[in-house]
Every structure is written in C-alpha cells, then in structure tokens.
A and B are shown apart, each in its own frame.
Chain A
Amino acid sequence: MNTEESGIAPAPHLSERHWLRWAGKNVMLTVGLLMLIVLILLTVLIPIFVHIDAFSISAATKLQPPSLGHLLGTDELGRDQMSRLVVGASISLRIAFAATALTAIFGISLGMMSGQYPVADIVISQISDSLLIFPGVVLAIMILAALGPSELNVVIAVFVLYVPRVIRTVRAAVIEYRGADFVMAARSLGASDLRVLSLHIFPRAIGPIMVQLSLGFSSAILVEAGLSFLGLGAPPPAPTWGGMISGAREYIRSAPWLMIAPGAIITYAVISLNLIGDGLRDMLDPRSRSIGQ
C-alpha cells in the first residue's frame, strides 16, 4: 500500500545495522579507512606503551635479526628497526598531511580564481601547466637541490608538485558549472562571485576534489619515500622510510629484513589511501564499480 505516496522517506535510524550495511556497500572505502586508522593509532599509541628509541647507536647489537627485544631487528648502527619505523611513520604522515593540506587550500582557491576570472586564468594556467611539464619527481628534485634537504622543504616540494593538478581539476569544475542554470539563478538574485563559488559550485565539485586529494595524499607518501631514498629528504639521523631502504642496500644479502619492513609499510600506507580514494570515487559514480553490484 502506498500510503507514503508523497515520497518522503522515513528518517534513517543510525543504528549499528545501518553502518554495517553502509560498510557492506562501500567495501573499499571502509577497508581503506580502517587500514589508515590502524596505522595512525599504531603510530600514536606504540610510543606511549613501548619504549621507543630510534636513535641510540650500539655497535654491539648491530644487524640483528628480529627477536623479542627488537621486534623487527636492528640496523647497521644497532638502532631498533621497529622504533625507527614508527618514528618514520609519523614523519611520512606529517609531511604528506601538510603537503596535502597546503595543496587543498591553495589548489582550491587558485583553481576557483582561475576558472572564474580570465585574466587570472592566463597567468595561473600557464604557470600551472608549465609545472606539469616536468616529468615526475624531477621538479621536486630541483626544488630540494635549491632549498636543501629538510622536512619542511620536502613539504614544499611535494606541494609544488601536486598543486597544479588540483588547480586543474577545480578550474575544470568551475568552468563546467559556470554556465549552469543554478548559477544563473543565483546571480539573478544578486549573489556575488564569492558566494556563487563557495555556496553553489564548490559543494558540487567537492567529490572529484576529494578523490584527487586522497590520491594525492598517497602519492605524497610515495614521493617523499623516493626523495628520502635519493638522499634529498629529511636528513639523517631522521629515520625516514625511504632513507631506511637506502641504508639497507648494502646489507641486502646479510640482513634482508632491513629492506623488507620499510617497503612493506610504505605499500600498506599507500594501499590504504588508494582504497579510500577509490572508495570515494565509487561512492560518487557507482557505474564504475567492479565489485559489489
């Protein structure tokens, strides 16, 4: 019986079952989020409960395989691998987060300006496109060569690497919606540019932007690892994941565990963020799903 003919659905009750069903429908997103949360929790909680020492050098305990005292073994200077990974996690996550936040702020604002005002567009687009010409990490390398290796400079380098992409996405969205009916309606009511951009266009563009930012976050982790590997990241004795892989090169035969662990955890972090990004994309555009439908 259609007594609810008017079409107003009953308010959803936020019970556990509701969340579970949501999780079932958005498998990737849920798994990704869980993985990320686990990583963050471990990074934060382990130092509280276990004694973490990423820096003490001890010739006596060098290059030891995993044991009870050192869950992931020790490196060539006798430092505890597990502690170094945990500290490295906070470094990588910090850098990636800062870079992504900066990218979001500047990318969105510059993108909107670029999409809205033709004069700004010429300048911003030209610079942004020129930055995109540099293949891959080359741009970051150049910047770090100029500024010198440090955590802050890595953030800046990654930011410069990704902000053009976000600018492009935002700009495209603004251009797409510029002529839309709802925009014309808002303007005819006297809305200012800023109002139109922030209240009308932005909410609709937020989807692709979020997807790109989460994928940017995962790329930031990979890029930072690569730069540290090359020796251009935060300088020693900071235990960066990439730096650990670089250090483990020499001992690849004698102490393979030194190589495996940092790479595995980088992969884990990137997968979790990619799942989040993909999950968000599927949520926005269910047609591209391959599982779950």
Chain B
Amino acid sequence: MLSYTLRRIVVFVPTLFITLTLIFVLTRMLPGSPVASLLGTQLVNAEMLDDVSRQLGLDRPILAQYVEWLPRILTGDFGQSLFFSKPVAEVLFERFPVTLSLTVFALIVTIVVGIPLGILSAVKRGSFLDYLGNIVSSFGMALPPFWLGFVLILVFAVDLKWLPSSGYRPIEMGFWPWLSRLILPTIALSLSQIGLIVRMTRSTMLEVLDTEYVGMARAKGMPEWIVIVRHALRNAMVQIITAIGLLFALGLGGSVIIEQVFALPGLGELITTAAIRRDYATLEAGIFYLTLTALVVNLLVDVAYAYFNPRVRLA
C-alpha cells in the first residue's frame, strides 16, 4: 500500500511540471501586453511602457523568464499583482475557502442525492422511476449552470425572497449567513454533477447486478437488500469512488462560472477577472492553485481506489 502511494506521488511530479510549463506558455503568449492593459487609457509613450516592462521583468528573453519563474512559483511566491495592492499569495489565501466551501458542499449534495438515485434506477430498471431519473438527469446535464443560477436567483431571491441573492459571508460571521448564501450556488453547481453521477452509478450497478456472483448470492437465498448492498454495491463502489474524483474536478471548473453569477469572491471569480484584465501574475497563481487542488484530490482518489481494490496495488 505504501509503495503504491509513493509510486503515485512520483508520477505526480512530471505531470505537475508539465502543467506548470503549460501555464507559463499559455499566459505569456500575449498579443497584448499587460502593461498597456494596466495603464489603461492613460496616454503613454514608449518610454513609460519600457520602464514598467523592465520593472516586471517582461523584457528578458522568454527562457530566462521561465528559469527565474519556476522556482518562485514552486515556493509559493506568486509575486505582486498589477491590479491588487497586495501579494498575490495573500489574495489567493483569502479566496480559497470560498471556492472550497462551494465545491465541497456541492460534492456532498451530489453524493447524497445522486448515488441513491442511481442505485434505485438500476434496481428498478425499466420502471417509471428509472425513466424519470433518466429524464431528470438528462435535463440537469443540459441546463447551462449559470443560467440555472440566474433562474434560481429570480425565483428564490427576487420573487420569494427566501434566500439572499449573492455575496459571501465567512462562517465566522454566523452559520446561517454563511449557509444561506451557499444554497443557491450549490444547487446550480451540483445539478449537472448529480445528473452525471446518477448515470454512472446506474450503469455500474447494472453491470454488477448482471454478474455471476450476484446471481449466486440470490441462488443462496440471500434477501434482496443484502444482495444489493453487500454483493452488488460493494463491488460497484470502487468505480463510483473514481467518479467522485472526477466530479470534484468538474465542480472546481464549474465554480469558476457560478462564482461570477452569485458574486462569490472565490478563486474562480479571481481567475476570470484576471483573464479579462490580462493580470498574468494572478491568473497563473489562481490556475495553479486550482489545478493543484484537483491533482491532490486525484491522488487521494487513486490511493482510496487501491485501498478498496487490492488487485490494483501491483500496477
């Protein structure tokens, strides 16, 4: 088990490296200089541009920039943002809990709602419930999440006034203020995830329910609920756990847009704004942080998978 974990960590490293390189390459491929963006519509001359460029180290050859940049990033020094007055690392630190609250909450809702629905759909295959589950999950996956967010705001915040429409309150300021602002965004974010997990659970369960050993369990006279839980579900869980890792990554990606809709000051909103403003330092940092989170979760899922499925440990 230990050696498997170590091997997974070792594989992690080149992937991280390539990811960082990709981030670097993509953010530096600029048709427009960030300096001009920052200086905005002020009248600038070439000299001013050069000045600021030199300050930011943007005038050196690209390879030199890379060599200087890489170790910096790895030690967490993301530099100073052109737009915020504080170090980028600090900004990230403030915003991370917001995104984390949203994504984790959405994941929990997805698991709690989606997996039982998927199991039911498989067990009662062909029934009205199955059909209904299929329709609901298809619909859920087709709705653009940001649009759903607005519709929810319209109905629950504007018309019914049950919940606040936007903003974020850290949990220190009270449980309900924190929670109430997360409910609508979580629904918007999790609906498509629920659709996905219902389908995956259903198809995995169907596969498993079809196996010889499940048939054998029935032939032994095991009550149906034991067959479903101890024999079918137990073997399906392995694949479902993998799906959860996937879902978390999707949630992180989706949070980028949802945060915009609900004005949640999280990493996603930071990334989007930075992208539009060409604030490269912040953009890099935000993406790196987000991606690193996804990588770590992936690693944990891999390890958990190996725990439940001993045969994989040799891989």
Q: Mark A233-276, 1 if CB is under 8 A from B, else 0.
A: 00000000010010001001100100110110011001100110
Binds B, one of A70-78, A98-106, A222-230: A222-230
Tell me whether B29 and A226 are in contact (CB under 8 A).
no
Binds A, one of B220-228, B231-239, B254-262: B254-262
Binds A, one of B42-50, B54-62, B124-132: B124-132
Tell me whether A290 and B130 are in contact (CB under 8 A).
yes
Tell me whether B138 and A274 are in contact (CB under 8 A).
yes
Measured CA separation A252–B30 after assembly (Å): 36
Interface flag for B253 (CB, 8 Å): yes
Interface flag for A138 (CB, 8 Å): yes
Q: Which residues 113-155 of B sit at the A interface, judged by CB distance below 8 A?
A: 121, 125-126, 130-131, 134, 138-139, 141-148, 150-151, 153-154
Q: Mark B270-292, 1 if CB is under 8 A from A, else 0.
A: 01101110100001000100110
Interface flag for A218 (CB, 8 Å): yes
Binds B, one of A50-58, A144-152, A174-182, A184-192: A144-152
The answer to whether residues A133 and B291 also contact, given A146-B27, A231-B276, A232-B275 and a CB cut-off of 8 A, is yes
Q: Within the complex, which residue of B142, B203, B290 is in contact with A267, where a contact is CB–CB below 8 Å? A: B142
Interface of A, helix, strand, loop or mixed by DSSP? helix
Tell me whether B142 and A142 are in contact (CB under 8 A).
no
Measured CA separation A130–B17 after assembly (Å): 9
Chain B, Cβ-Cβ closest to A266: B144
Interface flag for A80 (CB, 8 Å): no
Tell me whether A148 and B256 are in contact (CB under 8 A).
no
Tell me whether A138 and B144 are in contact (CB under 8 A).
no
Tell me whether A290 and B121 are in contact (CB under 8 A).
yes
Tell me whether A291 and B153 are in contact (CB under 8 A).
no
Q: Which residues 148-205 of B sit at the A interface, judged by CB distance below 8 A?
A: 148, 150-151, 153-154, 158, 203
Interface flag for A143 (CB, 8 Å): yes
Contacts of A2 in B (CB 8 A): none
Tell me whether A271 and B138 are in contact (CB under 8 A).
yes
Interface flag for A17 (CB, 8 Å): no
Tell me whether B144 and A129 are in contact (CB under 8 A).
no
Tell me whether A226 and B23 are in contact (CB under 8 A).
no
Interface flag for B15 (CB, 8 Å): yes
Tell me whether B134 and A291 are in contact (CB under 8 A).
yes
Q: In the complex, how many angstroms separate the beta carbon of A167 from the nearest chain B beta carbon?
A: 15
Q: Within the complex, which residue of A226, A245, A266, A278 is in contact with B138, where a contact is CB–CB below 8 Å? A: A278
The answer to whether residues A226 and B252 also contact, given A137-B257, A138-B287, A146-B27 and a CB cut-off of 8 A, is no
Tell me whether A222 and B144 are in contact (CB under 8 A).
yes
Contacts of A141 in B (CB 8 A): 256, 271-272, 275
Q: In the complex, how many angstroms separate the beta carbon of A45 from the nearest chain B beta carbon?
A: 24
Measured CA separation A266–B148 after assembly (Å): 11
Tell me whether B15 and A252 are in contact (CB under 8 A).
no
Contacts of A143 in B (CB 8 A): 26
Tell me whether B125 and A138 are in contact (CB under 8 A).
no
Q: In the complex, how many angstroms separate the beta carbon of A263 from the nearest chain B beta carbon?
A: 3
Measured CA separation A159–B310 after assembly (Å): 37
Tell me whether B131 and A290 are in contact (CB under 8 A).
yes
The answer to whether residues A135 and B294 also contact, given A230-B272, A253-B158 and a CB cut-off of 8 A, is yes
Chain B, Cβ-Cβ closest to A145: B275
Interface flag for B71 (CB, 8 Å): no
Contacts of A242 in B (CB 8 A): 144, 146
Contacts of B143 in A (CB 8 A): 263, 267, 270
Tell me whether B27 and A256 are in contact (CB under 8 A).
no
Interface centre among B15, B125, B252, B272 (most CB of A within 10 A): B272
Interface flag for A3 (CB, 8 Å): no
Nearest 6 Cβ contacts at the A-B interface: A136-B253, A263-B147, A145-B275, A135-B252, A270-B142, A135-B253
Interface residue ranges, B against A (CB under 8 Å): 14-15, 18-19, 22-23, 26-32, 121, 125-126, 130-131, 134, 138-139, 141-148, 150-151, 153-154, 158, 203, 206, 210, 249-254, 256-257, 260, 271-272, 274-276, 278, 283, 287, 290-291, 294-295, 298
Show 23 A/B contacts (Cβ-Cβ < 8 Å), sorted by A.
A130-B19, A135-B251, A135-B252, A138-B290, A141-B271, A142-B275, A145-B26, A148-B31, A225-B144, A225-B146, A226-B145, A230-B260, A230-B275, A230-B276, A232-B272, A232-B276, A266-B147, A267-B142, A270-B141, A270-B143, A271-B142, A278-B138, A287-B210
If A141-B275, A148-B31, A274-B138 are given as contacts, then 7 extra A-B residue pairs at C-beta distance below 8 Å, sorted by A number, are A134-B294, A145-B276, A222-B142, A222-B144, A230-B275, A270-B144, A288-B203
Interface residue ranges, A against B (CB under 8 Å): 126-127, 129-131, 133-138, 141-148, 218, 222, 225-226, 229-232, 242, 245, 249, 252-253, 256, 259-260, 262-263, 266-267, 270-271, 274-275, 278, 287-288, 290-291, 293
